[in-house]
Chains A and B, each alone.
Chain A
Amino acid sequence: MAEHAAGPVVRLSGLSHAYPGVGALDEVALELPAGRLTGVIGPDGVGKSTLLGIIAGVRQIQSGRVEVLGHDLRQRRARDAVIERIAYMPQGLGRNLYPSLSVRENLDFFGRLFGQDKATRAERIAELTSATGLAPFTERPAMHLSGGMKQKLGLCCALIHDPELLILDEPTTGVDPLSRRRFWELMERLRRRRPDLSILVSTAYMEEAERFDTLVAMDAGRVLAAGTVSELCATTGERDMESVFVALLPEERRGGHRRLVVPPRTPDGDGPPAIRAEGLTRRFGDFTAVDRVSLSIRKGEIFGFLGSNGSGKTTTMRMLTGLLPVTEGEAWVFDRPVDAEDTALRRRLGFMSQSFSLYGELSVRQNLDLHARLYRLPPKHIPARIAELTERFDLARVIDARAESLPLGVRQRLSLAVAVIHAPELLILDEPTSGVDPIARDRFWEQLLILSREQGVTIFISTHFMNEAERCDRISLMHSGRVLAEGTPADIKARQSAATLEDAFIACMEQGAADAGEETAADRETTQDPMLVRPRRKARRTARFSLRRLWAYTRREGTELRRDPIRLAFALLGPMILMIGMGFGISFDVDEIAYAVLDHDRTPASRDYLERFAGSTWFSEQAPPGDAAEMWRRLESGRLTLAIEIPPGFGRDLQRGARPEVGFIIDGAIPFRGDTIRGYAEGVHRGYLEILGSKVYAGLSASPVTVETRFRYNQDFKSVYAMVPGILMLLLIMIPATMTAVGVVREKELGSITNLYATPTKGAEFLLGKQLPYVGLALLSYLILLLMALFLFRVPLAGSLLGLTLGAVLFVFASTGLGLLMSTFMRTQIAAVFGTAIVSTIPTILFSGMLVPVSALTGPARIMGYGFPSAWFNHVSVGSFTKGLTLADLWLDYLVLAAFGLGFFLLGLALLRTRER
């Protein structure tokens, strides 16, 4: 707005920020004028992202003053008001996008978050997509977009609400040179259209410096210098930004840094190539990641692979190491065909993959030692080798530090040290210097040059830094799985008559694109330049709670869920299978008890007695044991559960009234079963006595009192009637809770949680919006399980359908809420899933009344039973099915279940951060 255009758009003073154990920002003071394109430049880990996050209002302010667009961000209401006028695109290509959603759906979601109505959203989506050339791809899922397109979509999503301040965190990292160039062109057009728009961009590419009006150079949480490029060049007396940056660093950080000189390679004759590949192809489904790549890398050469993320560099390298099977083509390393099982070959090879892939929890020494042993270095040589490497790679000071605590540059040196511990002849390095600061990168390259020039190691390295590519003996330009050009850097430039390698690369790419009939630079010129941003309208007041935003989350979560067959199968098919297995399997119906008789008497009398057991359906007679020892062995092994021993002289004693004693030995290992069998045995025994008709049972037949037993709710006394309602309860908590358990952590891990921080979304909208689709899915599952109970297991519903269903709705609100609650404070998805499983398994299976009545529980078990929703819904479920209970009987359960749902929700809300720390 006009009143802000004159003053600074951002004003920081004394801003400090620390993460556990590490400082990120140290007393930063800065003023950024409005209407400018400002660049924050510096390597990874110097605090750029933290700074941008704080300005965008997505990070909490720890100490210092932050004023953005004239508002003090420390005040919650000011922050809520100003956040609608800021657009923020986080680091990492498309990290805040939703991969399974199409371009249109992603944009639509952001439009809804900013409260736009349907017409406005449609209009803005049309404008933005046609301005960025995404119009033909609006229905394509974000995960199938190229890096450049993802970047454009990210930008469109940021621009959908016409911001006044645009904050882009490393928008060009990992993007191919052509897309990068187009991105800057887009920025130019954007600025022509909206000169009052302030843009703040961070970058790790020093060569992008001259594009900015103002530069802020950062290192180690401090601002080294701020000003225009020419001002900075003038102060330092350097010409290119990388040198300017190095010159700006304090003396001790430079640590005797000198310009890297690449000594020429002395060719060692025409031996066989170290790596040879012909027509290497790799397809993943329909997608061709690597398309007919042929290579030949000579021994002792530094061969560079240049290309953007997703261009196929990594896939090619992984095929060459044997990690990934090839779809077509052939490859040889040292003249031996690449074979995953060839361990001898692997000992001649060192590999360092893209991300830091050592064990973070091991110390530097443990990492080196482990690898030395795994590469089978003779144990007595290992200490010397570790000493040598720590010396050479300057790791002595950190030798006992845990690897994950090291700065990125040091970690990369450790990775290299590990990769060369067995003195390999060939090194394959996949983007080893990504995100590393210029000084550390140069030191890394010094080591590479020593390895190559002094030790004759062949090095195959991939990078997206042009200046690193210049240092290679030969390079190969890769794009979309294909090699565009190959040769020495000088050759490639000459062939395209380009001044820089980047220009040459872009020329190659445009050629390739033209061949493929894709959009070219020429086409772009003719593209209309529609409204990318529109003039600001009057700012709306943010509603405290917006159903539209809640619905935006529900729709989005629902769409994502619908497109994920694995989660859907888990949610719907899983319970069906479990219901069948457990419904038939969990049974307390004890029958066909395996028993055997040791009859020492063998008279008609004993046979008459035993007849009673043989005739009972409860018992199933097994072959008689030869002696007592055998009987015991069979009891011990579990093949018998009851042994009956008839004493010698049974018939005679019976005759004489000498009260023979029949012995029953019951396997009591499973106490409940033992109890039941005892009851059965006593029953049969009593029956015999009654038949015997004598004075028997002390005249019990003439007992003065009779007992009438009424089995209520389950006259046939069949397990299935009691178990199926219980299993319904079990499945309606375990499955939905597991589903939502990953809900929030997943967004944290993937990065889309930023959309909660950076938009006016309230925590309640976010949580409830995410919960609803899962409630819906769980209710669908409830319906399926209910039908199974009624028609497959034939358990009649004696009570009211409405009563059961109301309980189910409240219960799944509680169970999905429980999962979300776990998700808000767990840090990783695995912890959330298993945490939820652990928390819910015991109270649900053992303390809910499913196996044992809650009223019979004692101590903590009883408290846990009533302190968890399962027991309450189990009462609703069992009560509705078997006891014929209806709404009026179940009001207490409803109340408690609703309280659980609300409690989980409120607790989740309290634990959910709406800003990053």
Chain B
Amino acid sequence: MRLANVYRLGLKELISLRYDPVLVFLIIYAFTFAIIAPSRGVKLQLEHASVAVVDEDRSQLSVRLTETLLPPYFQAPEQIGVDEIDAAMDAGRYTFVIDIPPRLQADAAEGRRPAVQVIVDATAMAMAGAGARYLERVLVEEPLLYLQGDRAESSPAGAPAVASVIRLAFNPNGESAWFMSVMQIVNMVTLLGIVLTGAALIREREHGTIEHLLVMPLNAAEIMLAKVWANGLVILLGATFAMVAIVQGLLGVPTAGSLGLFVLGLGVYLFAITALGILLATLARTMPQFGLLSIPVFLVMYMLSGANTPLDAMPELLQRVMLVSPTTHFVAFVQSVVFRGAGLDLVWTHLAATLGLGALAFAAALARFRQTVSLSRL
């Protein structure tokens, strides 16, 4: 193994990449638009929820109830008729519909305790639960404040016996853009890591240049490492750019942890994921087969890594199975470092696991490398 060879071959890799417009476009797209659009547009928690109000009372109280539906939690509420509820819910136009019965204010004033109905589209999983809890709280508190005037607030007599001070650590306002943007970087790194390296290997095989390398005094490990560092470096730069310019700059996400530690982890993860890309490329005979193989692998690693829905919401068994994916460890690493500001002492286990899995993938790819060189030709 000679590092000079690895270096030279990697430079060649970079030149080749520069002349592949599709891949270059893919990289640019991945680290700009593919991060911005989901971060700005997708809210996994109660934010910008669509809500309609059926106001059958049209009293001061009902107007006041409607006014509790505030941004950023809710979009401006729309007024609909009671007969429109079913159709609107079926069409998925609103996630929440609040039905204020006739005579609400009068009944409330007379102490008849009328019921406000909150209809929740329970297929909007993440948002439905949080929204329902929020609405239950404000719709109960608001009439009280209204009827008692604002006395209640200033009166210590009305305060609860035990106060709860709830604090969302690491993301005090619960902004989903923070989470979304950083997780999109992880996803794009995963996709590109697999695609760039795998495609680079298969392209060399299809063009016959890999044979050329193998009759030279080079070994498979050198050829593979060259692909790892060259493609890894491109993605590392892209991801770091996305972190600094897009996430911290454009989207204004404050990151708690050290950028250096993030980049270090990214480097380790790139080793693992590019090695996996090579492994997949040695399993496929042709480029389309590689595509067909890597897309499901990517989908599973991405969807079940904890980057979309929390890992601990998955069944125990599946959580264990997903530990063989370096993405799972890296997602945990990133969440700890970037959001919670954890130091190396807390996250080194994730790093070690990523590195170990990467080494395994690398070893497996190495074992298959030579015997598959000839596959595409026959």
A interface residue count range (under 10 / 10 to 19 / 20 to 34 / 35 or more): 35 or more
Q: Considering the chains assembled together, what is the distance between the CA atoms of A882 and B213 in angstroms?
A: 58
Given contacts A654-B161, A670-B310, A705-B113, contact A679 B304 (CB under 8 A): no
Q: Does A383 contact B (CB under 8 A)?
A: no
Q: Considering the chains assembled together, what is the distance between the CA atoms of A321 and B217 in angstroms?
A: 12
Contact with B along A316-330 (1 / 0, CB 8 A): 001001111100000
Q: Considering the chains assembled together, what is the distance between the CA atoms of A533 and B117 in angstroms?
A: 82
A668 touches B172 (CB 8 A): yes
Instruction: Determine the chain B residues whose CB is within 8 A of the CB of A717 once the complex forms.
Output: 122, 128-129
Contact with A along B121-155 (1 / 0, CB 8 A): 11111111110111111011101100100001001
Within A827-878, the residues touching B (CB, 8 Å) are 828-831, 833-835, 837-838, 842, 845-847, 849, 851-862, 864, 875, 878
Q: Considering the chains assembled together, what is the distance between the CA atoms of A712 and B122 in angstroms?
A: 6
A654 touches B119 (CB 8 A): no
Contact with A along B323-342 (1 / 0, CB 8 A): 00000000010011001111
Contact with A along B31-70 (1 / 0, CB 8 A): 0001001101111111111100000000000000000000
Which of A692, A711, A830 lies in contact with B132, CB distance below 8 A?
Answer: A711
B373 touches A566 (CB 8 A): no
* Segment touching A, from B15-23, B234-242, B268-276: B15-23
Given contacts A357-B211, A708-B115, contact A852 B165 (CB under 8 A): no
Given contacts A357-B212, A373-B8, A669-B339, contact A705 B140 (CB under 8 A): yes
A584 touches B315 (CB 8 A): yes
CB of B230 to closest CB in A, whole Å: 13
Instruction: Determine the chain B residues whose CB is within 8 A of the CB of A668 once the complex forms.
Output: 168-172, 174, 339
Instruction: Determine the chain A residues whose CB is within 8 A of the CB of B3 once the complex forms.
Output: none
Contacts across chains A and B counted by CB atoms under 8 Å = 468
CB of A689 to closest CB in B, whole Å: 6
Given contacts A585-B303, A857-B42, contact A675 B174 (CB under 8 A): yes
Contact with A along B1-33 (1 / 0, CB 8 A): 010110011001001101100100010011000
A706 touches B115 (CB 8 A): yes
Within B70-101, the residues touching A (CB, 8 Å) are 75, 89-95
Given contacts A746-B288, A875-B91, A883-B90, contact A671 B44 (CB under 8 A): yes
Please report the total number of B residues contacting A with Cβ < 8 Å: 149
A588 touches B126 (CB 8 A): yes
Given contacts A662-B164, A715-B122, contact A633 B92 (CB under 8 A): no
Instruction: Determine the chain B residues whose CB is within 8 A of the CB of A830 once the complex forms.
Output: 22, 199, 202-203, 287-288, 290-291
Q: Does A666 contact B (CB under 8 A)?
A: yes
Q: Does B259 contact A (CB under 8 A)?
A: no
Q: Considering the chains assembled together, what is the distance between the CA atoms of A860 and B37 in angstroms?
A: 7
CB of B26 to closest CB in A, whole Å: 6
Instruction: Determine the chain B residues whose CB is within 8 A of the CB of A883 once the complex forms.
Output: 89-90, 123
Which of B139, B287, B340 lies in contact with A638, CB distance below 8 A?
Answer: B340
Q: Considering the chains assembled together, what is the distance between the CA atoms of A714 and B144 in angstroms?
A: 31
Given contacts A374-B216, A661-B163, A853-B95, contact A722 B125 (CB under 8 A): yes
Which of A376, A700, A707, A861 lies in contact with B41, CB distance below 8 A?
Answer: A861
Given contacts A704-B143, A707-B118, A883-B90, contact A584 B290 (CB under 8 A): no
Instruction: Determine the chain A residues whose CB is within 8 A of the CB of B136 once the complex forms.
Output: 707, 709
Q: Does B318 contact A (CB under 8 A)?
A: yes
CB of A427 to closest CB in B, whole Å: 11
Instruction: Determine the chain B residues whose CB is within 8 A of the CB of A384 once the complex forms.
Output: none
Contact with A along B351-378 (1 / 0, CB 8 A): 0000000000000000000110110001
Instruction: Determine the chain B residues whose CB is within 8 A of the CB of A577 once the complex forms.
Output: 296, 300
CB of B16 to closest CB in A, whole Å: 5
Given contacts A359-B16, A362-B15, contact A682 B133 (CB under 8 A): yes
Q: Considering the chains assembled together, what is the distance between the CA atoms of A578 and B132 in angstroms?
A: 31
Q: Does B250 contact A (CB under 8 A)?
A: no
Within A569-598, the residues touching B (CB, 8 Å) are 570, 574, 577-578, 581-582, 584-592, 594
Q: Considering the chains assembled together, what is the distance between the CA atoms of A704 and B144 in angstroms?
A: 6
CB of A434 to closest CB in B, whole Å: 13
Q: Does A627 contact B (CB under 8 A)?
A: no
Q: Considering the chains assembled together, what is the distance between the CA atoms of A445 and B178 in angstroms?
A: 66
Contact with A along B293-330 (1 / 0, CB 8 A): 10110111001100011101111001000100000000
Q: Considering the chains assembled together, what is the distance between the CA atoms of A415 and B215 in angstroms?
A: 14
Q: Considering the chains assembled together, what is the distance between the CA atoms of A666 and B340 in angstroms?
A: 11
A710 touches B117 (CB 8 A): yes
Q: Does A137 contact B (CB under 8 A)?
A: no
A875 touches B92 (CB 8 A): yes
A664 touches B218 (CB 8 A): no
CB of A822 to closest CB in B, whole Å: 12
In chain A, what residue has the closest Cβ to B153?
A: A698
Q: A636-B343, A668-B168, A722-B125 are in contact. List 20 more A-B contacts (CB 8 A).
A: A358-B209, A359-B16, A584-B315, A586-B309, A635-B170, A636-B342, A659-B161, A668-B171, A672-B44, A679-B134, A683-B133, A704-B108, A707-B116, A717-B128, A746-B288, A846-B41, A853-B50, A856-B43, A856-B75, A892-B91
| CB pairs A–B below 8 angstroms (17 shown) | A343-B218, A357-B207, A370-B12, A591-B313, A637-B336, A672-B310, A682-B166, A692-B162, A707-B117, A707-B118, A708-B118, A711-B120, A717-B122, A837-B191, A838-B26, A846-B42, A885-B90
